[in-house]
A and B are shown apart, each in its own frame.
Chain A
Amino acid sequence: MALRTLATRRALRSGLGLGYQSTRGLKTLSLPDLPYDYAALEPAISGEVMHIHHQKHHQTYVTNYNKSLEQLDAAMAKGCASTVVKLQAAIKFNGGGHINHSLFWKNLAPVHEGGGEPPKGSLGWAIDTNFGSLESLIQKMSAEGAALQGSGWVWLGVDKDFKKLVVETTANQDPLVTKGPSLVPLIGIDVWEHAYYLQYKNVRPDYLKNIWKVIDWKYASEVYAKECP
């Protein structure tokens, strides 16, 4: 446990915090630590949900991505095109799962650390300009998240070419960038059933109502300021 944490801390310091580790020249992934306790988001999200979501689901995406990557490495060394192509689906799904969840953890914060506090600065202005108000944006994202069939994500992103905010949904573990190469995610909300089922059961709209109480707008504001200076 201590070893894993150490390795992750070191990995987090370098670069984007995506938790890369190197084995045999291949950069594999490792599970990033959460910047808060599992129970710190209660009552909006229970400690049990957070624990399984991070330790089991996210870990499985990391493990399976690394497995696929090693298989890809071997297939490329052998020049086996059909295996290289076959592996794409697993890489997209598990790699997407890791990218999305890594962002999701950063999008959340306990209330006493600023969770739920409305965005200030340029992002706050941009939201008012694009959506009328923060409340309308929240309403729009909650409605689109509730209407999404099956598993997926609802996003607030910025189109860095047009300097415009967008709300999008993606299926399964597709990251936002699959909806357009110029889209940068600011907020991603997981609407897979595993994100809320133990606590909210079939009532996804209640989960989407409460999650805004622990959304950390600081991270989103920083990314926005960087993309739209």
Chain B
Amino acid sequence: MVATAISSAISLSCALLPSQGGSTRSLLRRNKERKCRGKSGPGMITAQFELKPPPYDLKALEPHMSSDTMEYHWGRHHRTYVENLNKQIEGTELDGMALEDIIIATYKKGNLDTVFNNAAQAWNHDFFWESMKPGGGGKPSGELLRLINRDFGSLDGLIKEFKAAAATQYGSGWAWLVYKANRLNVGNAINPLPKEEDKKLVVVKSPNAMNPLVWDYSPLLTIDIWEHAYYLDFQNRRPDYISTFMENLVSWEAASSRLEKAQARAAEREREEERKKEEEWKSRFRG
């Protein structure tokens, strides 16, 4: 926790960017034990990201996702992203930052090959494990269902769109259900005339490690459509994997609780913008 506090304090992007913090920030925790590494020199503090296990046993998703797949996917692929990230950021200005802030900072620099790739993949996989649960599937409820019916016509409408997005992502990548608060359909654009109808659920897909946080969306669900996610269980049959995910694995509870936090964050941001506007007016009158 000390690590998280320090990393937020030194994070630049918290002030400059609409933060996606909150629930997602705690996904991948820093080691509580802070290490002083010889390589970084005396006095330098480095913090290591930790590979967090999925919130269920590696066998718990069988028969829909085999323990073999989980062993390789979490135990090898996910682990490699986290280990490579730790090596790459050690002693750099990224060392000590929260994972989301590393993703956004490296994205803004435009080099998507190395640190961005590992940071985003570390985050995406954590988010993916928590988008599933043993005995998943079924139907969403409450506010989430209300928005699904409003924005996709019905649950079937959403499922159809989600499946199509996941099936047509050419090559490796991810498909997402996200909550879009007052954002335009243009990456990084500020909405000059935010309206109530702008706040809605949308389905997006992203190539390789790309992650909707960089577009300022709040992800609610994701499916990994890199071949390593399904090849041992389904080989080339990606559509079967996607159907199995939607019918037997998806955790609508996780999506609901993420939606609640995303809406709270959006409301908080609006209040903040309102407050700033008011202050601006007041200072003009005073001037």
Q: Which residues of A contact B (CB under 8 A)?
A: 52, 56-57, 60, 89, 93, 147, 149-152, 171-173, 192-194, 197-198, 201-202
Contact = CB atoms under 8 A, between A and B. Distances in A.
Contacts of B72: 201-202
A201 B71 CA distance: 11
B232 A197 contact: yes
Interface in B202-224: 207-209
Nearest to A55: B236
Contacts of B117: 149
Given A89-B170, A151-B172, A202-B77, A193 B236 contact: no
A57 B234 CA distance: 13
29 contacts: A52-B235, A56-B235, A57-B236, A60-B236, A89-B170, A147-B113, A149-B113, A149-B172, A149-B208, A150-B173, A150-B208, A150-B209, A151-B226, A192-B171, A192-B227, A193-B172, A193-B227, A193-B228, A193-B231, A194-B227, A194-B235, A197-B227, A197-B231, A198-B231, A198-B232, A198-B235, A202-B72, A202-B76, A202-B228
A7 to B, nearest CB: 23
Contacts of B66: none
Q: Find the residue from A57, A147, A150, A152 having the highest chain B CB count within 10 A.
A: A150
A197 B228 contact: yes
A149 B80 CA distance: 13
Interface string B40-80: 00000000000000000000000000000000100011001
Contacts of A150: 171-173, 207-209, 226
A201 B228 CA distance: 8
Contacts of B236: 52, 56-57, 60, 194
Contacts of A93: 170
B170 A173 contact: yes
Contact of B227 (A60, A89, A151): A151
B73 to A, nearest CB: 9
Top 5 A-B residue pairs of the complex, sorted by shortest distance between their CB atoms: A150-B172, A172-B171, A193-B227, A150-B208, A151-B171
A89 B113 CA distance: 23
Interface residues of B, number: 21
Nearest to B68: A201
Interface string B236-247: 100000000000
A152 B207 CA distance: 12
B240 to A, nearest CB: 12
A129 B117 CA distance: 35
A216 B99 CA distance: 45
Given A194-B227, A202-B72, A202-B76, A172 B170 contact: yes
Contacts of A192: 171, 227
B272 to A, nearest CB: 36
Q: Find the residue from B77, B112, B208 having the highest chain A CB count within 10 A.
A: B208
B237 to A, nearest CB: 8
Nearest to B237: A56
Given A93-B170, A194-B236, A202-B228, 16 more contacts: A52-B236, A56-B236, A89-B170, A147-B113, A149-B208, A150-B226, A171-B171, A172-B170, A172-B171, A194-B227, A194-B235, A197-B227, A198-B231, A198-B232, A202-B77, A202-B80
B214 to A, nearest CB: 16
B70 to A, nearest CB: 13
A93 B4 CA distance: 43
A147 B171 CA distance: 16
B26 to A, nearest CB: 27
A192 B227 CA distance: 8
A56 B231 CA distance: 13
Contacts of B226: 150-151, 193
A152 B226 CA distance: 12
Contacts of B173: 150
A60 B239 CA distance: 13
Nearest to A147: B113
B66 to A, nearest CB: 13
Interface string B103-125: 00000000011000100000000
